[in-house]
Amino acid sequence: MAMVILSDWLAAQLDKHSAEPAYRQLLQLMQQAILTGRLAPGTKLPSSRTLAGDLGVARNTVLHVYDQLSAEGYVISSTGSGTYVADTRPDSAAVNPAANAEGAAGNAPDEAAGEPARETCPRGDMSKRGQRLIDQAGVSAKQWGAFMPGVPDVAEFPARTWSRLQARLWKSANHGLLTYAPGGGYRPLRRALSDYLRVARSVRCTPEQIIITTGIHQSMDLAVRLLADVGDRAWVEEPCYWGARSVLQSSGLTLAPIPVDDEGLNPREADLREPPRIALVTPSHQYPLGMVMSLARRRMLLEYARQHKVWIVEDDYDSEFRYGSRPLASLQGLDDSDRVIYVGSLGKLLFPGLRIGYMVVPERLAATFRTGVAELYREGQLMQQAVLAEFIMDGYLTSHVRRMRTLYGERRQLLIDAVTQHFGDALPVMGDEAGLHFVLGLPEDADDRAITAAAFEAGVIVRPLTAYYSTRQQHQGLLTGYACVPHDEIAPAFATLAQVIETHAFAQPRKRRRVG
């Protein structure tokens, strides 16, 4: 492109009425001209004075554009001899030595000619583990509403108290709270948590053994990466939490689904013959079915772990919300061989968006885990950890949990009443009296995924139990959460759900039992 044509082309493209300054427009136009070859390598650019005159812009504007083009390597300026377009075209031989060396066609293959279409579609773009992760994804697009399982009522969270503590801490101008966190997290929070866990969960620990994380996912991820290698075997409960499966699989572990019965994890002899590296369990409240692991099974698992050097990851899920009996002690508290990594989270107690969790690791691993968490995740959020520490130390955590336990207990009962009213005892409510959801059993010939989809259409969220299994030994059911549903919305929302279930689960119209 000769210089005069360049000036003409630029003049035609420049929009003097645009909000975009002339400098930016001119810079982008010239970059574009160089990248597309419109301005060939070696071309001498007009002097800044000439170009400014041709375009009717300030000379300084052109000078700045030339400086920037030079700084970015688009042009080369040499004092006295002018400014030239640099040769930055990739050398086909340099980037494709294989084709060259083998004396093949020599040029890069033309994508338009012959590349199969699937190569450029998202499936081909992804890794195998990425594809599996997305194909099996359990995460939901909606996070709120009747009967979203596993979500606490955030409207009941004492936001004003939290905000007040937060404002006070920001005002104190403790700059150390704004930097990266040294491994393990904010020390007063670790002390507050170790006190809390000792008393509430019979966990044996010192603050040194506590590692603050962003939640269960990160805790599991850290344990898996520090303790297990690619190809190692991990026991997971069948059924289990989808997130656990995703985290373990994407770190390269081979999952062995172990059946559960009404005493919890129930490994078969064939399972026992192949000791895993890691066993992930939810002894307090099996997720999603809700039973409690019996003491006998707990002792069996601990003894097996001791003998075979298995790491047990105890996810102490939902242990705080029990409506009948007192919460059971943790598995960690029974462990004399230091084989248990205890993990928990504050999301369900306070609000899910908080993203603060913790793990309790055996003393001899504590320093390793502190380094590991800092190295892998470069954690921070000390300010928020400090707010939480005050919240706990001032007694707000305990009183909030106590209040929520009453509230959720009432909601659970209201939902059970609604189930009974609609279905009598035709559909069992499964699991212990605990947690934020229960599983509503369905006839084995029902299709819980179809029911979930139809319920979603009707405005009610549930989760299909079959989605939590990884083998074909599945049971039909619906994970039904009551915690985030105000009392007076429970019956009407369940009426909607009941209608969907009636339509889908019972081939024959059932004689409905109406109580009251």
User: Between residues 299 and 487, which has the closer beta carbon with respect to a copy of itself?
Assistant: 299
Minimum CB separation of residue 428 from a copy of itself in Å reads 21
Minimum CB distance to a copy of itself, residue 180 (Å): 5
Tokens of 281: 């369990």
Q: How far is the CB of 514 from a copy of itself (least distance, A)?
A: 35
Can you tell me whether residue 147 is helix, strand or coil? strand
User: Closer to a copy of itself at the Cβ: 239 or 347?
Assistant: 347
Query: Is 469 in contact with 289 (CB distance < 8 Å)?
Result: no
- Smallest gap, in angstroms, from Cβ of residue 59 to a copy of itself? 18
187 phi, psi to nearest 5 deg: -60, -45
Give dist(CA 496, CA 10) in Å, integer.
Answer: 64
Helix (H) / strand (E) containing 412: helix 396-423
The SS3 of residue 326 is: coil
Order of strands across the sheet that contains 437-441: 429-430, 437-441, 477-481, 463-464
Distance CA 370, CA 145 (A): 38
Nearer to a copy of itself, 300 or 450 (CB): 300
Computed over its alpha carbons, how large is the radius of gyration of the chain? 31
Minimum distance of a copy of itself from residue 425's CB (angstroms): 24
Closer of 91 and 444 to a copy of itself (Cβ)? 91
Q: What's the min distance (Å) between Cβ of 256 and a copy of itself?
A: 15
Report how far apart, in Å, the C-alpha atoms of 387 and of each of 165, 170, 215, 320 are: 6, 10, 17, 21
Please, which residue, 178 or 458, has the CB nearer to a copy of itself? 178
Q: How far is the CB of 369 from a copy of itself (least distance, A)?
A: 9
Q: Give the relative orientation of helices 396-423 and 382-393 as an angle to the nearest 10 degrees.
A: 80
Sign of the Cα torsion 45, 48, 52, 54 reads negative
Q: How far is the CB of 334 from a copy of itself (least distance, A)?
A: 7
CA-nearest of 274, 275, 297 to 286 is 297
Nearer to a copy of itself, 173 or 515 (CB): 173
Contact predicate 371/178, CB 8 Å = no
Sheet holding 357-360, edge to edge: 210-213, 357-360, 340-345, 311-315, 278-281, 233-238, 254-261, 264-265
d(CA 56, CA 305): 81
**93 or 495: CB nearest a copy of itself:** 93
Q: Are strands 233-238 and 254-261 parallel, antiparallel or unpaired?
A: parallel
Specify the residue, 54 or 156, whose C-beta has the smaller distance to a copy of itself.
Answer: 156
Q: How far is the CB of 352 from a copy of itself (least distance, A)?
A: 5
* Residue whose CB is less far from a copy of itself, 99 or 453: 99
Closest CB to a copy of itself among 7 and 31?
Answer: 31
Q: For the CB of residue 446, give the shortest distance to a copy of itself in the complex, in Å.
A: 27
Look up residue 492 and give its two tokens: 């009407």
